[in-house]
């Protein structure tokens, strides 16, 4: 039987790191086994679900490259199917109408708590065939009263639940709308899901869902409940730790491949390796190797991995990402070859693509001002003389390449008996506005002859050329 996994987020908020890791594990398992990955939007919470959240989920999945084979399916478009299955359960005696009022249930709860009992529905309408006038009923699943449910969880091992501890779950509200736990069961059945991989906060829902599947004559899927992701202080991951929209990581210049690499290591390992390409993950990942202990999110580790991916990725593959980050700063170019040269020149000194874009802005617009402290330090009469000589020779340079530029600048410095930096820094200030850039020969090559000479002349004019 072909492996079929599903990622089923609720669009009541943004797709965050925890959700993306769940999606990744589902996607990897399906890809590893040549199966199908299904995307399902569980939008039955009509009050809290939003179109913006749905779009953010879709955009986040697209950015991460976690392509789905089927879907997205929307639960709100399947209400007729849920109603049909509820009818089947009523007809087979596996569900019943409960006419208990809110007031009665509140009193039941209060009495149970007063006796020190666990609050739970007592099944008072379970075997009745009459009805209460003027009370719109809910529909409850008739959970078995005896025996146990054993969840053979791939991550946690066998987890046993006593049926006597499970009350009769509401599967349709009094207005007829189906409830989450019931919709999940019908969806997993109809979509032929073989492996349910989700957060371990859903583990307690599993026995009821299994009982409903069995009542419908469908074998339960394999379950794997993933451990939580904690913040560095050991508490539940929050916005201050990094539980933000996954698209914020795109905004901050992280590579999708690096984020996925980091997430796969939160709970899964393969020896001592840290760096994994997407192809590595698909080839090596197994849900059975996931650790059941909670993992700690560390943005510093993510940043380190991001730089590793920037360094190891083909430069051409980073060009679209650099272009996107530059566009957010109002800078644009269609010159792929130039952007590739910038990637090669800048990636050793950048931890994120956003940082690379910020540090490369001078390639696309001349400096509007110069670092005053650096000017006082580096623009001396001696430096201006060096700069003037270098400019004359650069204007006559036939081969505008980094090696030729380096030879020329180094020759001018040697001819005056000074260190290369005495000339390189004034040139860097003139073309960049500051003293931080790739090697000056590479910088001038990327800028091009006309732009480099234009900026050098402008700086000379301002500083008083000799």
Q: How far apart are CA 203 and CA 309, in angstroms?
A: 35
Q: Which of 83, 118, 236, 239 is catalytic?
A: 239
Residue 401: strand pairing partners:
none
If we measure between CA atoms, which residue out of 355, 254, 358, 345 comes closest to residue 308? 254
Report how far Cα 243 is from the mean position of its chain's Cα atoms: 10
Handedness of CA 182, 187, 189, 195 (dihedral sign): negative
**For strand 95-98 and strand 138-141, is the pairing parallel, antiparallel, or unpaired?**
antiparallel
The secondary structure element, H or E, covering residue 197 is strand 195-199
Q: How far apart are CA 402 and CA 22, in angstroms?
A: 47
* Residues whose CB falls within 8 Å of the CB of residue 176, separated by 6 or more in sequence, listed in order: 83
Mapped onto helix, strand or coil, the DSSP state of residue 224 is strand
Structure tokens at 459: 């700086």
* Residues whose CB falls within 8 Å of the CB of residue 111, separated by 6 or more in sequence, listed in order: none
Tell me whether residue 118 is one of the annotated catalytic residues.
Answer: no
**DSSP class of 398:** S
**DSSP class of 155:** T
Question: Known catalytic residues?
Answer: 239
């Amino acid at each position: 039987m072909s492996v079929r996994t599903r990622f089923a987020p609720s669009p009541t908020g943004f797709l965050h790191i925890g959700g993306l890791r769940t999606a990744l594990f589902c996607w990897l398992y399906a890809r590893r086994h040549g199966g199908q990955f299904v995307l399902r939007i569980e939008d039955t919470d009509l009050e809290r679900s939003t179109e913006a959240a749905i779009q953010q989920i879709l955009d986040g999945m697209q950015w991460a490259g976690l392509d789905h084979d089927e879907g997205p399916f929307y639960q709100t478009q399947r209400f007729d199917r849920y109603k049909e299955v509820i009818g089947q359960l009523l007809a087979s005696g596996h569900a019943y109408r409960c006419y208990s009022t809110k007031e009665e249930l509140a009193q039941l709860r209060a009495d149970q708590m007063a006796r020190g009992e666990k609050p739970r529905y007592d099944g008072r309408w379970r075997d009745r065939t009459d009805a209460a006038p003027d009370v719109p009923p809910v529909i409850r699943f008739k959970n078995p009263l005896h025996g146990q449910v054993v969840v053979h969880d791939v991550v946690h091992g066998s987890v046993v639940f006593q049926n006597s501890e499970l009350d009769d779950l509401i599967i349709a509200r009094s207005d007829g709308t189906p409830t989450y736990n019931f919709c999940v069961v019908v969806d997993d059945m109809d979509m032929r899901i073989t492996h349910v991989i989700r957060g371990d906060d859903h583990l307690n829902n599993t026995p009821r869902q299994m009982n409903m599947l069995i009542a419908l004559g469908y074998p339960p899927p394999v379950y794997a409940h993933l451990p939580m992701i904690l913040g560095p202080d050991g508490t539940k991951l929050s916005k201050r730790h990094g539980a933000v929209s996954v698209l914020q990581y795109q905004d901050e210049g992280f590579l999708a491949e690096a984020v996925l690499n980091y997430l796969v290591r939160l709970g899964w390992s393969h020896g001592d390796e840290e760096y994994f390409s997407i192809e590595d993950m698909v080839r090596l990942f197994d849900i059975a190797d996931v650790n059941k202990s909670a993992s700690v999110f560390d943005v510093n580790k993510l940043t380190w991995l991001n730089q590793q991916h920037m360094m190891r990725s083909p430069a051409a593959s980073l060009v679209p990402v650099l272009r996107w980050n530059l566009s957010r700063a109002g800078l644009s170019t269609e010159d792929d070859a130039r952007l590739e040269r910038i990637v090669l020149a800048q990636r050793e000194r950048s931890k994120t693509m956003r940082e690379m874009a910020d540090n490369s802005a001078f390639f696309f617009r001349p400096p509007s001002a110069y670092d005053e402290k650096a000017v006082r330090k580096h623009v001396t009469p001696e430096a201006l003389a060096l700069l003037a000589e270098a400019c004359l020779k650069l204007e006559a340079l036939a081969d505008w390449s980094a090696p030729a530029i380096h030879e020329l600048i180094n020759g001018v410095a040697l001819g005056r008996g000074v260190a290369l930096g005495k000339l390189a820094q004034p040139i860097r200030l003139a073309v960049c506005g500051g003293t931080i850039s790739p090697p000056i020969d590479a910088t001038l090559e990327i800028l091009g002859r006309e732009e480099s000479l234009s900026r050098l002349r402008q700086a000379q004019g301002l500083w008083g050329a000799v």
